[in-house]
Amino acid sequence: MKSFGKKTLMKQRLTKHATLTGALAASLLMLPGILGGTPALAQKADRDSLTYGELIKKTEKGEVKKVELDETEQVAKVYLDGQKPDTQPLRVSLLEQNTELINKLKENKVDFEEVSSANSRAAVGLLINLMWILPLAALMLLFLRRSTNASSQAMNFGKTRARFQMEAKTGVKFEDVAGIEEAKEELQEVVTFLKQPEKFTAVGARIPKGVLLVGPPGTGKTLLAKAIAGEAGVPFFSISGSEFVEMFVGVGASRVRDLFKKAKENAPCLIFIDEIDAVGRQRGAGIGGGNDEREQTLNQLLTEMDGFEGNNGIIIIAATNRPDVLDAALLRPGRFDRQVIVDAPDRKGRLEILKVHSRNKKIDPSVSLEVVARRTPGFTGADLANLLNEAAILTARRRKEAITPIEIDDAIDRLTIGLTLNPLLDSKKKRLIAYHEIGHALLATLLENSDPLNKVTIIPRSGGIGGFSQQIFNEDMIDSGLYTRAWLKDHITMALGGKASESEVFGEAEVTGGASGDLKMVTDLARKMVTMYGMSELGLVALETQNSDVFLGRDWVNRSEYSEEMATKIDHQVRTLAVSCYQEACRIIRENRALVDRLVDLLIEQETIEGEQFRKIVAEYTQLPEKPLAVEIAGKR
């Protein structure tokens, strides 16, 4: 976050240097132009040249046939009478003013013309000059930057450097923000504060000064703040917390003062402080005595917030994804005492967001946004906006009229898995990958509780992915976190299907490391089943609990205290579970070997098999378990 602030700073400095170097470069350019020009002129003492005086004399005598004058180069080419046509002309160095010569040439009716080689010469000269000027300029820039860095900061110290943005009208409305209804409802009130403060002050209600928006990146916090300003029709001041934090103590604080001063002049208005955790960290918590500058900035912010009356029409909205690190003083009444959670949207929310972002796009009626929402668990508003944009780009590239399900599908894969690379040539490696992926895909299809297959492909993707088999997410389960034991077991079995298939076909010795990701997932899931969900012989004990802090973006697990002996038991249970699932996977592959081979051949030929085609082929060999989800989605696409 800090680097962001520095970057903007750098930009400013760079522009300053650019003008400086521009002037420098220009003055340097002149020098070599003159220097480079002279040597050619200096050597005039060879046989093919005349002096200026000799030329005038020869002109008077009528011995000159033709003269080409090049005044910029200060040289004349002289063709004498009786000269053989193929001999070189004589060169004569000219003076600054050649009136005498020209008059003489005219008098004697000598054929002469003025040419200018300056242009082409100059261009070449410029190129040559640039070749050594560029590195020089770069070097200078480097020096200048070094030496002025400190001093320019010192000079600007305390000066007003408006680093906040002001938008008189954001143009964003609440209807542009979707999928976070609760947050919107809570903030609806803030709009009223800004629009009709009397309503609240009349009954003696104190208007809150600050609202803290808490949520992961991309969920629409900035958008929401803009929408509040837009709905209330007030100016929007914004600054990022990281921009307060400067190298010199006091700059951040003066910036806070500036910001509030400007805001007061424009009240009613809204101040938005993004990444407030950059300034608002717990004071004195840093290693080595904390950060003086940050503390001063924070103190200034607190002072300003305390300083203005509740009804002067300024509302401060701050955003963070790390509420846990904020200084307690920020959260006291009269400051950011209201906290609004802006979490990643659920399926319904995603659908609403997709609707918002599809308003300005041409989408084929065959696309079901509902299916898209279902297929994108964990996507934030920003991800979804990106998804539709990516799909639109693909559509344009394919010269289609409107976005079809194919583009949506490709865009999802692109965002979740990676860019497609060229297919592998037919090789042993390709067959191995095909067997691995078919192993997953077949198990996903045959296991009763496994989510249905969406597609399986062996088109490689960036990031070292040789292929993948993809299921249609059972979104209800993922959203609620209520996994059934049967689902978990089948999921583990399916995840081991790749390795099982490799070893059944090629033998244990040929198994590749390609399954390492699968194994990690299997271990994680199996461990959770044992230690968190109470789904093993160890019974109903929650040995570990999942940290509910979703914003850390990590699967923090709090280990409760348990004995060494218990740890061994857990490991044993995890291993037993994994081994039994693996054996089941191997059995299914073995019993369906003919089917596996046929699917692999088809996959190598087609490179991708869609879920429906896959299921049709499998149904020729064996009974398919019923999966309503597959039917539902297939019907919609």
For the question of residue 537 being annotated catalytic, the response is no
Nearer Cβ to Zn ion, position 67 or 494? 494
Gap between the terminal Cα atoms of the chain = 42
Nearer Cβ to ligand ADP, position 110 or 388? 388
Which of Zn ion, Mg ion, ligand ADP, none interacts with 179 (beta carbon under 5 to 8 A by kind)? Answer: ligand ADP
Nearer Cβ to ligand ADP, position 101 or 319? 319
Type and span of the H or E element at 457: strand 453-457
Type and span of the H or E element at 274: strand 269-274
Work out whether strand 64-70 and strand 453-457 pair parallel, antiparallel, or are unpaired.
unpaired
In whole angstroms, the minimum distance from the beta carbon of 340 to ligand ADP comes to 12
Nearer Cβ to Mg ion, position 222 or 470? 222
Which stretch, 91-99, 338-346, 518-526, 624-632, contacts Zn ion (CB under 5 A)? 518-526
Cβ pair 550, 343 in contact under 8 A? yes
SS3 category, 554:
coil
Cβ contacts of 442 within 8 Å, gap of 6 or more? 497, 501, 588, 589, 592, 595, 596, 599, 618
**HEC string for 381-433:** HHHHHHHHHHHHHHHHHCCCCCECHHHHHHHHHHHHCCCECCCCCCCHHHHHH
Which of Mg ion, ligand ADP, Zn ion, none interacts with 276 (beta carbon under 5 to 8 A by kind)? Answer: none
Catalogue the E-assigned strands of 57-172: 64-70, 75-80, 90-93, 111-114, 165-167
Which stretch, 126-134, 184-192, 494-502, 611-619, contacts Zn ion (CB under 5 A)? 494-502
Cα 211 from Cα 516, distance rounded (Å): 45
Nearer Cβ to Zn ion, position 170 or 457? 457
Which amino acid does the sequence have at 338? R
Which stretch, 497-505, 558-566, 601-609, 612-620, contacts Zn ion (CB under 5 A)? 497-505
Nearer Cβ to ligand ADP, position 220 or 466? 220
Residue with tokens 């019907």: 635
Interacting residue ranges for ligand ADP, rule: CB under 6 A: 177-180, 217-223, 319, 353, 356, 381-382, 385
Which stretch, 201-209, 450-458, 495-503, 530-538, contacts Zn ion (CB under 5 A)? 495-503
Cα 412 from Cα 402, distance rounded (Å): 17
Angle at 373 between CA 369 and CA 375, to 5 degrees: 115
Interface with Zn ion, residue 502, by CB under 5 A: no
In whole angstroms, the minimum distance from the beta carbon of 397 to ligand ADP comes to 22
Cβ pair 499, 511 in contact under 8 A? yes
Interface map 189-218 toward Zn ion (x if CB under 5 A) = ------------------------------
Interface with Zn ion, residue 498, by CB under 5 A: yes
Nearer Cβ to Zn ion, position 452 or 467? 467
Nearer Cβ to Mg ion, position 313 or 345? 345
In whole angstroms, the minimum distance from the beta carbon of 305 to ligand ADP comes to 21
As given in the structure block, the two tokens for residue 62 are 């009528």
- What Cα–Cα distance (Å) separates residue 206 from each residue in 196, 311, 334, 500? 13, 8, 9, 66
Which of ligand ADP, Mg ion, Zn ion, none interacts with 300 (beta carbon under 5 to 8 A by kind)? Answer: none
For Zn ion, how many residues bind (rule: CB under 5 A)? 2
What b-and-e string marks burial along 296-310, b requiring 16 or more CB atoms within 10 Å of the CB? bbbebbbebbeebeb
Which of ligand ADP, Mg ion, Zn ion, none interacts with 129 (beta carbon under 5 to 8 A by kind)? Answer: none
Work out whether strand 64-70 and strand 75-80 pair parallel, antiparallel, or are unpaired.
antiparallel
CB-nearest residue to ligand ADP: 381
Angle at 256 between CA 254 and CA 258, to 5 degrees: 70
Cα 526 from Cα 204, distance rounded (Å): 57
In whole angstroms, the minimum distance from the beta carbon of 118 to ligand ADP comes to 54
In whole angstroms, the minimum distance from the beta carbon of 318 to ligand ADP comes to 11
Interface map 218-257 toward Mg ion (x if CB under 5 A) = ----x-----------------------------------
In whole angstroms, the minimum distance from the beta carbon of 440 to ligand ADP comes to 33
Nearer Cβ to ligand ADP, position 221 or 255? 221
- Closest alpha carbon to 440 in 596, 605, 579, 575: 596
In whole angstroms, the minimum distance from the beta carbon of 339 to Zn ion comes to 42
Sign of the Cα torsion 612, 616, 618, 624 reads positive
Interface with Zn ion, residue 497, by CB under 5 A: no
Which of ligand ADP, Mg ion, Zn ion, none interacts with 439 (beta carbon under 5 to 8 A by kind)? Answer: none
In whole angstroms, the minimum distance from the beta carbon of 517 to Zn ion comes to 7
Which of Mg ion, Zn ion, ligand ADP, none interacts with 220 (beta carbon under 5 to 8 A by kind)? Answer: ligand ADP
As given in the structure block, the two tokens for residue 385 are 């906006």
In whole angstroms, the minimum distance from the beta carbon of 224 to ligand ADP comes to 7
Nearer Cβ to Mg ion, position 241 or 460? 241
Work out the widest C-alpha separation in the chain, in whole angstroms: 123
In whole angstroms, the minimum distance from the beta carbon of 551 to ligand ADP comes to 11
Which of ligand ADP, Mg ion, Zn ion, none interacts with 460 (beta carbon under 5 to 8 A by kind)? Answer: none
Which of 243, 295, 518, 584 is the binder for Zn ion (CB under 5 A)?
518
Which of ligand ADP, Zn ion, Mg ion, none interacts with 518 (beta carbon under 5 to 8 A by kind)? Answer: Zn ion
In whole angstroms, the minimum distance from the beta carbon of 548 to ligand ADP comes to 20
Interface with Mg ion, residue 320, by CB under 5 A: no
Cβ pair 342, 213 in contact under 8 A? yes
Cα 528 from Cα 345, distance rounded (Å): 25
Which stretch, 178-186, 349-357, 516-524, 583-591, contacts Zn ion (CB under 5 A)? 516-524
Q: What is the number of other CB atoms lying within 10 angstroms of the CB of residue 175?
A: 11
Q: What is the number of other CB atoms lying within 10 angstroms of the CB of residue 207?
A: 20
Cβ contacts of 163 within 8 Å, gap of 6 or more? 8, 239, 243, 255
Supply the DSSP symbol for 467: -
Interface map 552-591 toward Zn ion (x if CB under 5 A) = ----------------------------------------
Interface with Zn ion, residue 241, by CB under 5 A: no
437, 502, 504, 584: the catalytic one is 437
As given in the structure block, the two tokens for residue 284 are 């004195």
> Which residues is 214 bridged to in the sheet?
320, 341
Nearer Cβ to Mg ion, position 222 or 536? 222
Cβ pair 413, 586 in contact under 8 A? no
Residues within the interface to Zn ion (CB under 5 A): 498, 518
Residues within the interface to Mg ion (CB under 5 A): 222
Catalytic residues: 437
